[in-house]
Structure 1
Amino acid sequence: MALITLNNISLRYTSKAAKRLGAMDAGADELDIAGPLERRSGRNMRINALQDVSLTLRDGTRLGIIGSNGSGKTTLLRVLGGLFVPQEGDVTLSGRVATMFTLGIGMSAEASGLQNIYLSGLVAGASRKQIKQILPDIMSFTGLGDYIHLPISTYSQGMAMRLKFACATAFQPDIILLDEWIGAGDESFQEKAQARLEKILADAGIIVVASHNIKLIQDVTTEVLWLERGQVKMLGPTQEVLDARGAERRKAAEQAADNAKAQARGD
């Protein structure tokens, strides 16, 4: 049975460590470290990326994570996936996890595609026998043909993404963590990837997706966690939380417009 429990977790790191840990994902549109800052020595700053976050997710949970750029969405996903370890609080996780926001974890650029399939399977907790049984399906899904025997350092970006996606989705996970929606490969592969991902989502015990796409959040989730500056602002039914955030944003926009008019008048 899938289960995730976060009990009063807090995570902080310096601005230098944020770059070293990969807080800015390749291709991401935000630097997810914009929590409250504390000046340390010289130009180095300490970022309080997550503060006192508690959460319990059980089988059947479909959770969306929303918030402004830098609110801590990606950081929280990485904590849920075991990639970041908080300095305070406890994390309990039960079940096989697929972290769709880091498709390349567990892969070696100098190893062949075939070797990487085995490596990814072992990282996912599968035995060599289980990997061997599903190997033909993975190889067929990638469409790489004989390239499967070459190092992935020789692959084009599209070829590498196809292999990574196939490996990440080869074994039905209990828990799926998505940072936005995965795009992989050309248009024909996208169709296969979409169908495969939808089936996996339907069968998963827990789904957590962080996104700015409100329609995606509405379509996929039943609950929403609203983060701002690393803190939980609201947790509840999807539409209830989205309505509350929408109302706050409209109020802020109206206030900004009033301030602009006042400045134009010279008030």
Structure 2
Amino acid sequence: MNKRDKIKTNLIKKYNISPEESEILLTKIEKRIAKENARKREILSKNMFNESKEEFNQPEHKIRNINSETNKYNDFETITQNISSKESEKLKKEENNNVDTILSNIIPNYDQEISIELNNVDLIFEVETDKIDNIKENIIRTLKRNKSKKTKFQALNNISFKINKGEKVGIIGYNGAGKSTLLNVITGIYPINNGTVTTHGKISPLLSLGAGFDHNYSGRKNIYLNGAVLGYSKKFLEEKEEEIIEFSELGEFIDFPIKNYSSGMLAKLGFSIATIVEPDILIIDEILGVGDVNFQRKSSDKIKSLMDGGTTVLLVSHSIPQIREICDKAIWIDKGKVREIGEVNKVCDHYLKDAEKASNKQLANIKFR
């Protein structure tokens, strides 16, 4: 789809008009711009002509010298051609700026850079109806052609949205709505069945801290193992090793097997590895309270620093006050579908109202105030 077609699509959505009406509106805009640019060209041509006349009004011997030395001013047509070539790039840029300025006033976020875009995304899981908990039974069932039956569960259903660069977006929804699944799709952990997922820039996913740890390895070795899972190079990890260890506060325990670590120590190490980069996209799933009180404060400050400087943030949290504080936009996921997207407080208010009729199971661990 070219730029003009995208503009037409945006006009249709914005004003709820037909394709024919959007074509008429866009044509009017283009004519208005063309008319304005024609006027600017006329003014520019007159100004440049007046400047060129001043050079021709010089004494004859000076004009002769100019012609003989540079061969630049042979006749009026050559001069106007030179003017045209010199100013054409400027005019073209000016015209594009006019188009963008006008359309930015008509279409919100028209000229913003897209960071994350999902179009018609479906994700279907196959769930076994019978529980097979040993290899022997699985082999016997395979030989007898009596394998466990599977049912399909649609975790995400026709999900579409765009997140612009630098936006802080909270994802809310009841338990089992598909919030964490959505994050796993965006980070590429789960392959989708239909649709497209597009991201621009380096992603730092704070999902399951310590995913990929080997509990028989030391903390130091797991820096390289977990770092590789996150896509960091060995050279990068070597340069950042001491910084990771220092931030994790593990000290001499860094060389102990992590099977001896407490859950808090594991979280500290996982968080320190995951946040060592300054990402373009920061994806967070309920990990803002890792470690002890002091480390929680430090990790919160670290995340806030990562959020600065144009980083796009996608946050899943059961704490609605936290979503309101950090985010400027919210996406409400309900039963695998997008129920509402918009300004954070507006969406959260609708979510709170809807929660009055939700079950206790759906509301477990959700903090509304």
User: Do both share a fold (TM > 0.5)?
Assistant: yes
* Residues 120-199 of structure 1 mapped to structure 2, 5 A cutoff: 120-199=226-305
* Cα distance between partner residues in 2 of 1:137 and 1:130: 11
* Residues 2-41 of structure 1 mapped to structure 2, 5 A cutoff: 3-16=115-128
Are residues 111 and 95 of structure 1, via their aligned partners in 2, closer, same or farther at CA, if it must alter by over 3 Å?
farther
1:82-132 deviations in whole A, cap 9, x for unaligned? 111111111112222222121112322222211221233334443333322
Please tell me whether Structure 1 or Structure 2 has the larger radius of gyration of its CA atoms.
Answer: 2
* Residues 214-225 of structure 1 mapped to structure 2, 5 A cutoff: 214-225=320-331
Q: Mind listing any 5+ residue stretches in structure 1 that lack a counterpart?
A: 20-40, 254-267
SS of corresponding position for 2:153 = strand
Structure 1 residue 2: deviation in Å?
7.4
Are residues 46 and 126 of structure 1, via their aligned partners in 2, closer, same or farther at CA, if it must alter by over 3 Å?
closer
Are residues 108 and 128 of structure 1, via their aligned partners in 2, closer, same or farther at CA, if it must alter by over 3 Å?
same
SS of corresponding position for 2:210 = coil
* Cα distance between partner residues in 2 of 1:109 and 1:96: 28
Structure 1 residue 209: deviation in Å?
1.0
Task: Tell me whether 116-125 or 228-237 shows the greater mean CA deviation.
Answer: 116-125
Structure 1 segments of 4 or more deviating over 6 A? none
* Cα distance between partner residues in 2 of 1:95 and 1:106: 23
- Residue of structure 1 aligned with 2:208, choices 96, 102, 111: 102
**Corresponding residue of 2:191:** 85
Identical-residue share of aligned pairs (%): 34
Q: Mind listing any 5+ residue stretches in structure 2 that lack a counterpart?
A: 1-112, 132-146, 359-369
SS of corresponding position for 2:118 = strand
Q: Is the 8 A contact 2:244 2:276 kept in 1?
A: yes
- Residue of structure 1 aligned with 2:308, choices 174, 188, 202: 202
* Cα distance between partner residues in 1 of 2:291 and 2:338: 35
Q: Is the 8 A contact 2:128 2:148 kept in 1?
A: no
**Corresponding residue of 1:117:** 223
Are residues 126 and 52 of structure 1, via their aligned partners in 2, closer, same or farther at CA, if it must alter by over 3 Å?
same
- The letter of the residue matching 1:11 is L
SS of corresponding position for 2:116 = strand
Indicate the structure whose relative CO is greater, using CA pairs within 8 Å and at least 6 residues apart.
1
Q: Is the 8 A contact 2:128 2:149 kept in 1?
A: no
Q: Is the 8 A contact 2:210 2:269 kept in 1?
A: no
Structure 1 residue 201: deviation in Å?
2.4
- Residue of structure 1 aligned with 2:344, choices 229, 238, 258: 238
- Residue of structure 2 aligned with 1:71, choices 145, 168, 177: 177
1:167-223 deviations in whole A, cap 9, x for unaligned? 111111221111224322222222222222221222462111112211111111111
Task: Tell me whether 225-234 or 1-10 shows the greater mean CA deviation.
Answer: 1-10
Q: Is the 8 A contact 1:2 1:175 kept in 2?
A: no
Q: Is the 8 A contact 2:114 2:162 kept in 1?
A: no
* Cα distance between partner residues in 2 of 1:49 and 1:103: 23
* Cα distance between partner residues in 1 of 2:224 and 2:159: 36
Q: Is the 8 A contact 1:8 1:52 kept in 2?
A: yes
- The letter of the residue matching 1:12 is I
**Corresponding residue of 1:26:** none
Are residues 210 and 16 of structure 1, via their aligned partners in 2, closer, same or farther at CA, if it must alter by over 3 Å?
farther
Task: Tell me whether 123-132 or 76-85 shows the greater mean CA deviation.
Answer: 123-132
Structure 1 residue 229: deviation in Å?
0.9
SS of corresponding position for 1:120 = helix
Larger relative helix fraction: 2
Q: Is the 8 A contact 2:288 2:296 kept in 1?
A: no
Structure 1 residue 79: deviation in Å?
0.7
Are residues 162 and 246 of structure 1, via their aligned partners in 2, closer, same or farther at CA, if it must alter by over 3 Å?
closer
**Corresponding residue of 2:166:** 60
1:29-49 deviations in whole A, cap 9, x for unaligned? xxxxxxxxxxxx977532111
SS of corresponding position for 1:49 = strand
* Cα distance between partner residues in 1 of 2:299 and 2:329: 25
Q: What's the RMSD between the two structures over aligned residues?
A: 2.6
**Corresponding residue of 1:31:** none
